[in-house]
Structure 1
Amino acid sequence: MAHAAFVFDAYGTLFDVHAAVRKHAAKLGPDAQRFSSIWREKQLEYSWVRALMGQYKDFWELTQQGLDTAFALVPSADKSLRDDLLNAYWELDCYPEVPQVLTDLKATGAKIAILSNGSPAMLEAAAKAAGLTDLFDEIFSVDDLRTFKTDPQVYEMVTTQFRIYPEEVSFQSSNRWDIAGATAFGFRTVWMNRMGMPDEYADLAPKAVLADLTGLAALG
């Protein structure tokens, strides 16, 4: 079926979450990759815990807290790089195929949107830095709800704003847990398994699995 909207998670799907550390990897030293993984894991962990507690803090604050934990767990990392890493996170690289894929999908007449845990300012800065701003009809942030994915209310923002049914939405994310949440809500889901990770949440399977966004338009 033709989809009325193509909606994308931001971090890890459109924007490379490890780009900030990679930019400063030489200064961070041999543990840079581990440091980046911990930063990302803690950023997400804090969002889930906050959502369950009903104690919201925006994603930028959680990003900073995750970074501080990464420094604590990786003593070899130079703490003087904190500001440089945070500044780099505002201008993460998008994956190379993203601009053309979004351009092609927009040409079909479908709505194009981001749906992300990121704060509005973070998302707007990332889209601007990547030159993608004009390609999006909407940038949805959980900040409007003061909770995080996988709360069904987050996915409902899309259907409410666009006045469409869940099955009319193709939702793309690199995060398998996010795909599970969107599938449970009723979206057609496409898992961007960029890292070749094993599948999870077998009862909430995606409609398709791709290594990157290149093959998305061909799915129909």
Structure 2
Amino acid sequence: MTVTASNDAGVSKARPKAYVFDAYGTLFDVHAAVRRHAAAIGPDAAAFSDLWRVKQLEYTWVTSLIGQYRDFSALTQDALDFCFARYPAVDRRLRDDLLDAYRRLDCFPEVPGVLTTLRERGAKIAILSNGTPRMLDEAVAAAGIGGLIDNIFSVDALKIYKTAPAAYALVTSTYRIAAPDIAFQSSNRWDIAGAKAFGFACHWINRSGAPDEYVDHPPDLVFSSLAGLVEDAD
């Protein structure tokens, strides 16, 4: 479902030559790990999962700004440890189980069909993520979508996180495709702001119906799920 669209005249009206997807929250459900162990975690499970995600992202921004990179796997563990400290009633013996579940997150149900359709239309399909190469390879394999992905770009090669422009340039420098001819999809509004500032055509996958922000860098289209990409292209 298309929610809204901007009228940016600089965006190419032709079908994109490549579709580039953020991984966590866009292709993969970041709350699936906690959901698998919700009964063991107890009544704080939802808040625990939300905080894990918030701190994970916060740590990427802080480490980038102070110039002391630590990879996404390490930050994910740091964020989880903070959650155990914040919710001391949650059994710390779940730590390894939660980290293992995070390596094998569920993809959203529409993902395989959407990627299949876009590939059939001749576009390149890629992931651009803060995740480490190993994390992304494991997630893609667990979801069974490896045959639908042409390239996986990790910021680990740069040692700086999105929204640094260099992260988005990983795609343009490899594909040698102009930024406006690349469609970038993310459920993270801050990521859309960074990609839009870089010059990509941007689709915000607003699964939760969140209010808009970063108004100086609006998405070109907003969808409630990735299925909107296929509906919009028809």
Which ranges in structure 2 are unaligned for 5 or more consecutive residues?
Answer: 1-13
How many residues of Structure 1 are paired with residues of Structure 2 in the alignment? Answer: 220
Q: Distance in 1 between matches of 2:127 and 2:89?
A: 36
Q: Provide TM-score, normalisation by structure 1.
A: 0.99
Q: Distance in 1 between matches of 2:155 and 2:108?
A: 23
What is the aligned partner in structure 1 of residue 39 from structure 2?
26
Q: Does 1:122 align with 2:135?
A: yes
Which of 165, 187, 190 is residue 174 of structure 1 equivalent to? 187
Shift of 1:126: 0.3
Which of 157, 164, 168 is residue 155 of structure 1 equivalent to? 168
Shift of 1:77: 1.1
Q: Distance in 1 between matches of 2:228 and 2:108?
A: 14
What is the aligned partner in structure 1 of residue 15 from structure 2?
2
Q: Distance in 1 between matches of 2:231 and 2:37?
A: 37
Q: Does 1:143 align with 2:124?
A: no
What is the aligned partner in structure 1 of residue 5 from structure 2?
none
Which of 199, 202, 210 is residue 215 of structure 2 equivalent to? 202
What is the aligned partner in structure 1 of residue 107 from structure 2?
94
Structure with the bigger RCO (C-alpha within 8 Å, sep 6+) is 2
Aligned-partner residue type, residue 123 of structure 1: L
Shift of 1:147: 0.4
What is the aligned partner in structure 2 of residue 73 from structure 1?
86
What are the within-5 Å matches in structure 2 for residues 38-117 of structure 1?
38-117=51-130
Q: Provide TM-score, normalisation by structure 2.
A: 0.93
2:84 aligned counterpart, secondary structure:
helix
Q: Distance in 1 between matches of 2:179 and 2:120?
A: 21
Superposed CA deviations along residues 111-148 of structure 1, whole A, max 9, x for unmatched, are: 00000000000000000000011111100000000000
Shift of 1:41: 0.4
1:104 aligned counterpart, secondary structure:
helix
Shift of 1:215: 1.3
Aligned-partner residue type, residue 162 of structure 2: K
Could you tell me the percent identity over the aligned residues?
A: 60
Q: Distance in 2 between matches of 1:76 and 1:106?
A: 46
Aligned-partner residue type, residue 58 of structure 1: D
Shift of 1:2: 1.1
Q: Distance in 2 between matches of 1:36 and 1:110?
A: 34
Q: Give me the CA root mean square deviation.
A: 0.6
Q: Distance in 1 between matches of 2:207 and 2:89?
A: 28
What is the aligned partner in structure 2 of residue 193 from structure 1?
206
Which ranges in structure 1 are unaligned for 5 or more consecutive residues?
Answer: none
Shift of 1:219: 2.7
1:216 aligned counterpart, secondary structure:
helix
Aligned-partner residue type, residue 107 of structure 1: E
